[in-house]
Structure 1
Amino acid sequence: MFTIHPTAIVDDGAQIGEGSRIWHWVHVSGGASIGRDCSLGQNVYVGNDVVIGNNVKIQNNVSVYDAVRLEDDVFCGPSMVFTNVYNPRSAVNRKAEYRPTLVRRGATLGANCTVVCGVTIGEHAFVGAGAVINKDVPDYALMVGVPARRIGWMSENGTRLKGLGRVSDTAGGTYEITEETCRRL
């Protein structure tokens, strides 16, 4: 069973997983696939060609447009933005030119950040509030700024990792960190 608020619109054909909650003024298009235990906050829009994994949290005022894929455990902060056309013009139809965006498992997208279409955001990456992502993001990367740049690494439990070599987080996870990569051991 899933929960849909009376003000929400869920078009016929949409797939919604067990335990998911769809709140006030949400619109889910008919071709969308939403996994189990997801939460879609107030005023969320989900397009037709969208796949949302399990345990995804999408906060208020987020539009998940066609060609966006969110893997399991992704967090989308309030009013963050996805795009799907790289060079939009009102008078030019570019629906055949949508660029796919992939947000990998466990990634966090902070409030008011923007994800320019055609990128992949790595597993457990952390995009700070207001950042603009215009290129691929490595796993575990901490990204901030406009355009976003990597300023460090984040653990799977959301704590900042410091140092190089073998580093532990506050929950006991161990990571191998170099200047350019971070991986969980």
Structure 2
Amino acid sequence: MKQNSEVPPAPVRVAPGAQIDETAVLGPGTAVWELAQIREKAVLGEDCVVGRGSYVGPGVHIGDRVKIQNHALVYEPAELGDGVFVGPAVVLTNDHNPRSVDPEGQLKRGGDWQPVGVTVAEGASLGARSVCVAPVRVGRWAMVAAGAVVTRDVPDFALVAGVPARPIGWVGRAGERLRELPGPAGIWECPRTGVLHAEKDGVLTEVPPPPAPRPAA
């Protein structure tokens, strides 16, 4: 009998007690655990994990294969790229000047302020209980240490830590800290993968691998 070569999409899994707005979009294979809340018009890609008690705000855009761990708070209008890791109890803020009341003492409403979002680029990781103060951008494959408070943009591949967060090194795609090689300055290597990176003027880029040798004629 002829087999169908097309693989059906993985189902979306939503645990009892999770709250998913009917206008939210969840990609195939995404799992949402107990007490998580996903608000209206949020969009999540394929194979995401939204942990217990976490929050995804209205209109937030999340890529594929993103992990949002327990009790993380992703406030609108945040944008998360593919492969982002959001650790437990991380907070992505959205208000420059938070107040409960206006100067006249009246309770502020949704239209009384303009939310601003945090952007987390492809592959970046936010350690447990870190805080990103909008509108910062965390670069590709960067890593924010646990408990850090990010108030400035984080370059690609940068490792930042502290309050406020400051650069303390570089990491590769594997998440391990890079080591600087002897010889020409600014060449860094991932100890796990062996991939080389070049640093220039505070910017780190991956060095393309050499072309494969051509077969003998």
What's the TM-score bracket when you normalise by the shorter of the two chains? over 0.9
- The equivalent residue for 1:115 is 132
Q: What is the identity, as a one-letter code, of the residue corresponding to 1:121?
A: V
The structure 1 residue matched to 2:193, chosen from 152, 156, 171, is 171
Q: What is the identity, as a one-letter code, of the residue corresponding to 2:30?
A: S
On the 8 A contact 1:140/1:153 being kept in 2, the answer is: yes
For residues 200 and 138 of structure 2, the distance between their equivalents in structure 1, rounded to whole angstroms, comes to 19
Secondary structure of the 2:76 match is coil
| Equivalences for residues 143-162 of structure 1 within 5 A | 143-162=160-179
Give the C-alpha shift of residue 179 in structure 1: 5.8
- The equivalent residue for 2:47 is 37
Instruction: Kindly report structure 1 stretches of 4+ aligned residues shifted beyond 4 Å.
Output: none
On the 8 A contact 2:40/2:59 being kept in 1, the answer is: no
- The equivalent residue for 1:78 is 88
Secondary structure of the 1:177 match is strand
On the 8 A contact 1:49/1:65 being kept in 2, the answer is: no
For residues 98 and 79 of structure 2, the distance between their equivalents in structure 1, rounded to whole angstroms, comes to 20
For residues 19 and 76 of structure 1, the distance between their equivalents in structure 2, rounded to whole angstroms, comes to 18
- The equivalent residue for 1:4 is 14
How much identity, in percent, do the aligned residues show? 39
Deviation digits for residues 24-45 of structure 1 (CA, Å, limit 9, x no counterpart): 1111112100000000010011
TM-score by length of 1: 0.96
TM-score by length of 2: 0.82
What RMSD in Å do the two structures reach over aligned CA positions? 1.3
The structure 2 residue matched to 1:25, chosen from 31, 35, 47, is 35
For residues 145 and 117 of structure 2, the distance between their equivalents in structure 1, rounded to whole angstroms, comes to 22
For residues 3 and 134 of structure 1, the distance between their equivalents in structure 2, rounded to whole angstroms, comes to 35
The structure where strand makes up a greater share of residues is 1
For residues 95 and 188 of structure 2, the distance between their equivalents in structure 1, rounded to whole angstroms, comes to 39
- 1:46 matches 2:62: no
Count matched residues. 185
Q: What is the identity, as a one-letter code, of the residue corresponding to 1:155?
A: G
Higher relative contact order (CA 8 A, sep 6+): 1
For residues 124 and 34 of structure 1, the distance between their equivalents in structure 2, rounded to whole angstroms, comes to 20
Larger Rg: 2
Q: Which runs of 5+ in 1 are unaligned?
A: none
